[in-house]
Structure 1
Amino acid sequence: MRREANLDWVLKGLADGVPHTKHVVLLSADGLRMAQYDTSDNTADRLAAACAGLQSLAGAVALELPHSHGRMRMLVIEMDGGFFYLMAAGAGAYLAVLAEEGVDAGLMGQRMRDLVLRIGEHLKSPPRHDVGTSP
């Protein structure tokens, strides 16, 4: 598993800056945790794995729109107890946030976009290569 421990602190501002934020995870497109803030490894890994499926489904739905190229920008799911946000965050990387009820949805979306814009070049996951193949 590739882990960008130096990015954990970057997620702190989002988690601390939006009340009711529960978990913040940075993941690769294939569902591997790259960074997290104030979230256990097990929870972050489960969220990252689930996000891989969600971004894939969102991309498939996006293909039904003209000029979308199947790219998912942001996905928001409202559920009992809170909200889940998934945002594209650089080439092959996604930012995921789970927030409890009472979160300001507009503020969360804005802060996620600001974070991605501010450090987008650092929020990316290069493609992995199979063992035994050259890059």
Structure 2
Amino acid sequence: MVSEDLSWLLSGLVQRVPHTRSALLLSSDGLVMASDGLDKDAADHLAALASGLHSLARSAGKRFDDGDEVRQIVTELSNSMLFVSAAGPGALLAVFAGREADVPVLGYEMAMMVKSVRSHLGAAPRNSVGQ
């Protein structure tokens, strides 16, 4: 798991892109690693949702795209959008933004953030109890 607090990184992303509401770094199995703009309960809920969406998209990729790499998932809601993308080995980045957000700019900023600090964003797999 990430040993340093990366909330400042997420905060920078939220501040740089207008209409971005919150950002969350999570392990691929749904554990919160860092967040900005979310209370603990909301962060935990979003982590579970983002992990589930990513898992479903990977399954679709395996079945219909001959691969399981998921670049980005975009979910449009009535007043906001949720973006989920890979952020490093075993890690995901989830970002909530208003519908007014500039989607290409937000996608670019997410990609640049992940690219610049990918080595810090990984999450080691957890072992089962008794191993």
Question: One fold, TM greater than 0.5?
Answer: yes
Who is 2:105 aligned against?
107
Who is 1:42 aligned against?
41
Report 1 or 2 for greater relative contact order, CA contacts < 8 Å, sequence distance ≥ 6: 2
Q: In 1, are the aligned partners of 2:89 and 2:123 still within 8 Å (CA)?
A: yes
Go from structure 1 to structure 2 and tell me whether the alpha carbon gap of 1:4 and 1:35 turns closer, same or farther (over 3 Å shift). farther
Q: In 2, are the aligned partners of 1:3 and 1:33 still within 8 Å (CA)?
A: no
SS of match in other structure, 1:121: helix
SS of match in other structure, 1:54: helix
Who is 1:88 aligned against?
86
1:69-115 CA-partner distances (Å, limit 9, x unpaired): x1211111112101110010000000000111210000000000000
* Cα distance in 1, alignment partners of residues 27 and 40 from structure 2: 15
Identity among equivalent positions (%) equals: 38
Unaligned runs of 5+ in 2: none
SS of match in other structure, 1:129: coil
Q: In 2, are the aligned partners of 1:5 and 1:34 still within 8 Å (CA)?
A: no
* Cα distance in 2, alignment partners of residues 6 and 107 from structure 1: 25
Q: In 1, are the aligned partners of 2:80 and 2:97 still within 8 Å (CA)?
A: yes
Unaligned runs of 5+ in 1: none
Q: What's the TM-score once normalised by structure 1's chain length?
A: 0.91
1:21-74 CA-partner distances (Å, limit 9, x unpaired): 1110000011110100132111110000011110010001111113x2x12111
Who is 2:25 aligned against?
26
* Cα distance in 1, alignment partners of residues 3 and 108 from structure 2: 24
Who is 1:61 aligned against?
60
Whichever residue aligns with residue 82 of structure 2, its letter is: F
SS of match in other structure, 1:55: helix
